[in-house]
Chain A
Amino acid sequence: MKNRFKNWAENYGLFLLVVVLLISVWEWVVKQGFIPSFILPAPTSIWQSLMENRQLLLEQHLPATLKEVLLGFILSLIGGVIIGGGMHFSRALEKVLYPFLVISQTVPLIAISPIFIMWFGYSIWSKVAVTILTAFFPIVVSTYDGLKTGGEEYREILLTMGANRWQIFKKVQVPLALPAFFSGLKMSVVYCVVGATIGEWLGASEGLGYFSRRMSGNLQADAVFASIFLLSLMGIVLFLLISLVEKQLLKNKIH
């Protein structure tokens, strides 16, 4: 037990120290007046705002954004795997799709958002659409690249056993693709939080992104930062969850 704590302290101790230091400096800088509090609020006032609004934030806005994030993530996952896998199996599909995929990432949201609004109105789906747009690309790329990962020798040995293409795909290529795949998932889930927030800015009635915009209009910077804090927390927790799943699944895979 003592050893575990020591191990943990060694790994994260320095990070925590730096964080505490940064927050202290931040607090001091604002309280001394070097930066106006309506532009950068002090950590203590952010915490206060968080406490004041906690019911609204935790019971209404956080779950709303979380719903969009999870929906967007799951759909990105399914879509991304299908597209990435499809491109792996069909060179023709790859050649046709790849340019469109890149274009989808470079078109500015301002151009696309009216189209989303036309299709989905201001329902949750316009936000999920923005989330997917932001987050599916890493999954496509990581799936596609992951499936390309070597394994030629394993392929050969399976061939001698009489395996067909599909069996080789399932038994060799998929396990080999998992590390890259999980990298893509980790990136994607963070982008989902970003995407959901932006989606809410385009028009929402609840959610942390919506809340922060309203508070910004009210010139209540501490409330804005409180919601940003929760959004960051959400991103970190989701990232860690996927890392955990990755660790469990991959703990016996190739080193």
Chain B
Amino acid sequence: MNVLSGEFVSVIGASGSGKSTLFKLIAGLLEPAQGQIWINGQKSGKRLGKVGYMPQKDLLLPWRTVADNVMLPIEISKEKKQEKMSEIIEGLNRFGLAGFEKAYPHELSGGMKQRVAFLRTIMTGRELLLLDEPFGALDSMTKHNMHSWLLELWEDLQKTVLFITHDLEEAILLSDRIYLLLDKGAVKVLKVEIPRPRRSELIYQTEFIAMRKELELLIHNEK
């Protein structure tokens, strides 16, 4: 599997095909029994702390405020908290969470929590971000809002993203390339030719629907 700098790559596969495990391997929580992992052209030894990881559950520390949660990676890398605070406030504004710095996770909606978790992941400062079904638990409307928001953000972010999802629409809408994990270790790669910047209305366009059909067939045929 290859990911180029600045790319948005989705990973789609049936449950149990090992997507989350893949992420854990890349993040350094697990070690590969076979094969190798190379980051920035180097075979990496210790990968912990080198990659931004956002798991399926937001995993915001319930006893910390939103601001303190986002500050977490800064504390760990022992950077100066005061300097980063303004960055955080700005980030929260950008993410539509203005005024929520002192709120606690249990006071936020699902979508808001996911955004905080996303901001926290960005705050790790890592170039490569692993997002494991970040919008999976959200209702359809919130999800669409998040897509629009992420598409807007994408140019400014300047990150490399690996994105796990079940949602074919989402994958095509957001990604540059899609990896399909099929049965018996088979992997298929698709390129999404739709130019950026993209808008969420794309999902109604013919090319889009065609691509979706193609993906569905590929997956269906495997069964």
Do A and B interact directly, with beta carbons closer than 8 Å?
yes
A contacts, CB < 8 Å to B: 153-154, 156-163, 167, 171-172, 175, 252-255
B residues in contact with A252, CB < 8 Å: 62-63, 104, 106
B78's closest neighbor in chain A, by CB? A167
Q: Are B49 and A160 in contact (CB under 8 A)?
A: yes
Whole-angstrom distance from the CB of B74 to the nearest CB of chain A? 10
Interface size on B, residues (CB 8 A): 23
Hey, which chain B residues are within 8 Å of A157, CB to CB? 53, 55, 59
Contact partner of B63 (CB less than 8 A), chosen from A158, A159, A160, A253, is A253
Name the one of B29, B48, B55 contacting A162, with C-beta atoms under 8 angstroms. Answer: B48
How far is B59's CA from A157's CA once the two chains are assembled, in angstroms?
8
A153-B57, A252-B104, A255-B106 known; A161 vs B62 contact (CB < 8 Å): no
What distance in Å separates the Cβ of B55 from its nearest Cβ neighbour in chain A? 6
Can you list 6 A-B contacts with CB-CB less than 8 angstroms, sorted by A residue number?
A159-B49, A160-B49, A161-B72, A161-B76, A162-B49, A171-B76
Q: Is B173 an interface residue (CB 8 A)?
A: no
Q: Do B106 and A163 have beta carbons less than 8 Å apart?
A: no
Residue of B nearest to A162 (CB): B49
Closest-by-CB residue of A relative to B106 is A255
Chain A residues with CB under 8 Å of B48's CB are: 159-160, 162
Among B27, B48, B63, chain A packs the most CB atoms within 10 A around the CB of: B63
- A158–B27 alpha-carbon span in the complex (Å): 11
Question: A161-B49, A161-B124 known; 9 other A-B pairs, CB under 8 Å?
Answer: A153-B57, A160-B27, A160-B53, A162-B48, A163-B76, A167-B75, A171-B75, A252-B104, A255-B106
Q: Mark B180-217, 1 if CB is under 8 A from A, else 0.
A: 00000000000000000000000000000000000000
| Whole-angstrom CA separation of A158 from B121 in the bound complex | 11
B61 at the interface (CB under 8 A from A): yes
Contacts of A163 in B (CB 8 A): 49, 76
A167 touches B104 (CB 8 A): no
Question: In the assembly, what is the distance between CA of A160 and CA of B120, in Å?
Answer: 12
